Structure 1
Amino acid sequence: MQYRIRNGDQLIGTVTNTKHFHWAGLTPNVTLHLSVASFNGFRESPRTSLTVKTRGIQVKVPVSLTAGATVSLVYLEYALGLVPIGTEPKGMFGGGNRQTLPAKVVSSVNGMSTIEITNSFNLMKDNLTMRKIADGSYAVFDGYKALYLR
């Protein structure tokens, strides 16, 4: 048996003799209108549909925050070699491509909170862990990119 998978009316994949499908390259916080129909070589069955939304990028921060609370994260890009990543002087939050990102605390367990960015931001890896820096704020660095929670 063959199954055809669509997002809206766009065919995104076909699988044969399996009920598993992997879709690489999804982006954060995107609503998908998925449907699946079986195909027997002659005709397609009625589609079974479902609407889902991908989650946003998440970061962990070693502090207890209230689950459900909204916070803002600051994203910055630093020129390589200008300042060693993680050693910025107190108050030095320069850098380019500055963005203030809306986020929500999705959980807080044993002094570790998980924060999810609630827009389509996708410039850093998922599930990074922040650490407390010299000025008392929290930060995570990914090469020349940084996210801050003040």
Structure 2
Amino acid sequence: MATQLKLVEEDKKAVDRQKALEAALAQIDRAFGKGSAMKLGSKETMQVESISTGSLGLDIALGIGGLPRGRVIEVYGPESSGKTTLALHVIAEAQKAGGTAAFVDAEHALDPVYAKKLGVDIDELIVSQPDTGEQALEIVDTLV
């Protein structure tokens, strides 16, 4: 009898933990948007609007046809690996679709002539050249 009581208590604790986890995930979804935190095994899929990268192969590899629209995207890689070119291609695609884009130029090295050659409407491009990383984050936070 004591063993059964102990099992019932353990089951109740497990159910309570599961309910607390579900409540926490629901709170995260409300605060940060659906899909901000989820179980990897979840079968649920979301339709995500995307912006083409300008590269069919990369768009296919990303799985949604490009980069997610309305999100902050960080491109990381070694020097001369194509980060700026990729960013400018995406900006050009976003502008072609009627969107507005901002380029945070942390290196103070944006070449407007090159950007224009890649299809960027440089007259409509918002450019920021912050002095610090903190300043860059504040600018992005304000824009988004």
Which TM-score bucket, shorter chain as reference?
under 0.3
Structure with greater Cα Rg: 2
Of structures 1 and 2, the one with the larger relative CO (CA 8 A, separation 6+) is 1
TM-score, normalising length from structure 2?
A: 0.23
Task: Give the structure with the larger strand fraction.
Answer: 1
Task: Give the structure with the larger helix fraction.
Answer: 2
